Amino acid sequence: MKNIDLLNASVQDFVCEFQGNVFNFLYERDLQSILFSIAYRHFATERVRMRGGFHRENAYGGNNYIDTVPIKCEYPMSQVFDIGLIDSDAVQHYDTALWNQYNWKNDKFWDQPVRAAVELKYYQLGDSIEDKASAYEADVEKLKRYYDKRTHNLFLGIALICIQTEQLDIFPFSVGEPYKQDAAFPQTGVFRYVVTPSSAKMYVT
């Protein structure tokens, strides 16, 4: 799938950016913002169309739909991943009966199913490894729950952790089986991605 390939390319470019100088990034939000900006550039010419209807057509620029880049930050609203990729094949368009049934108060532009998502954690000098490991595990479980919700074959989740120092090149827990580097980028499932100043490894959870 083209969009998964674009996400893969975005993550690879992000890893290179991080490893170029890990101290360019002093906060986790720094990492999230650079990953999003890289992904946004990769997806710049891609569009997903979502039909509205809760508002008048002039609210959408004269049409009853919007076209938007499918990669989003802090998306979707009901789940909130650090980076979310809207699933263009599962878009929920406006339907009067459905909106009346659930008493929804707006269009669904902000809360569509996602085909892929990235959860990001940053271990920095001085952090508690136990606290960060616990938070990272929570990210993995969050992605797994969504994977189950999307009936397994419709979702790719990446729990990505960047580690600022080579003094800690692996977390103190089992990360699973190494993903074969010569295999195609995974289309579905939940994977761990561990990035240090000099290495980047993906693991099957």
Confidence (pLDDT) at 180: 67
Confidence (pLDDT) at 204: 84
Confidence (pLDDT) at 176: 66
Q: Rounded to two decimals, what is the model's pTM?
A: 0.91
HSE (CB half, 13 Å, CA atoms) of 7? Answer: 26
β-strand pairing of 81-86 with 71-75: antiparallel
Mean pLDDT of the chain: 90
Q: Which 3 state secondary structure label does DSSP give 111?
A: coil
Confidence (pLDDT) at 182: 54
Confidence of residue 92 (pLDDT cuts 50, 70, 90): very high
- 108-134 pLDDT, tens per residue? 999 999 999 999 999 998 888 888 889
Confidence (pLDDT) at 168: 62
- 173-185 pLDDT, tens per residue? 556 667 766 556 7
- 127-165 pLDDT, tens per residue? 888 888 899 999 999 999 999 998 767 899 999 999 998
* Helix residue ranges, H only, 55-191: 96-102, 129-149
Cα-based distances in Å from 131 to 14, 122, 123, 161, 171: 25, 11, 10, 13, 11
| DSSP H or E stretch at residue 81 | strand 81-86
Starting at the edge strand found earlier in the chain, the sheet holding 156-163 runs 71-75, 81-86, 114-123, 156-163, 189-195, 200-204, 177-178
Confidence of residue 8 (pLDDT cuts 50, 70, 90): very high
Amino acid letter at 129? I
Mean pLDDT on 45-53: 94
Q: Which residues contact 28 (CB under 8 A, 6 or more apart)?
A: 120, 121, 122
Mean pLDDT on 190-195: 92
- 71-89 pLDDT, tens per residue? 999 999 999 999 999 999 9
| Domain span at 167 | 2-204
Q: What percent of the chain has pLDDT over 70?
A: 91
Overall domain count for the chain: 1
